[in-house]
Amino acid sequence: MKTVAVILAGGKSSRMGRDKAMLPVNGTPLVAMLAERWRNVFDGLVLSVDTRERFAHLGLEQVRMVEDARPEAGPLAALETVMNTVPAERYFLTAVDLPFGNPELARALSGRMGEADVCLIQRRSRGVEPLFSFYSRKCLPAVTAALDRGERSFYRGLLPYVRVQKVPENQFPREKLARSLFNANTPEDWEAGQTMFRKSD
């Protein structure tokens, strides 16, 4: 496969206080809604999970689930596991707590990658966005090296060691970008997001 979309859903949801993946959106668990959204955007879809059993009741048989090989080691470790399990040229990472990620924006970002190893959005005030980004398979040695030395951060463990394409946020429609990168980490975030869900109905 050329490009695989990866939904990261293996976190503990400690700040939310309940499983973010199972939060209801019009009666549908958030993770199931996202799986449907990203299913046909690229050449494949992977759900990165801590355990398959956690999602067994959702009827997601058509979605490939990959269990973390380094449990509780964060998104960088999840990327390593997916790269080692699902061969592809590029991997688009998004997270289960990005409920409004826009496929059109993701495709536009993909078109800016060129020959870089990583392509991500540069925010004016928040740095780069590692979890709505593209990673080439060429990153795998650097990812593994970072994890082997105990470094879990994309910023310190990976980005300094690979070719990075940073796309300024002003290259994308402002409202669409803000919506796509809205992060639901806490109950307050989730409550704020309900208005956005109603606007998308």
- What pLDDT score was predicted for residue 126? 79
Q: Could you give the CA distance from residue 197 to residue 135 in angstroms, rounded to a whole number?
A: 29
- What pLDDT score was predicted for residue 195? 73
- What pLDDT score was predicted for residue 62? 82
CATH superfamily for 3-200 is Spore Coat Polysaccharide Biosynthesis Protein SpsA; Chain A (3.90.550.10)
- What pLDDT score was predicted for residue 146? 98
Q: Could you give the CA distance from residue 144 to residue 151 in angstroms, rounded to a whole number?
A: 10
147 closest CA partner among 92, 89, 201, 69: 69
- What pLDDT score was predicted for residue 29? 92
- What pLDDT score was predicted for residue 17? 67
Which positions of the chain have pLDDT values less than 50? Answer: 201
pTM of the full structure: 0.93
- What pLDDT score was predicted for residue 201? 45
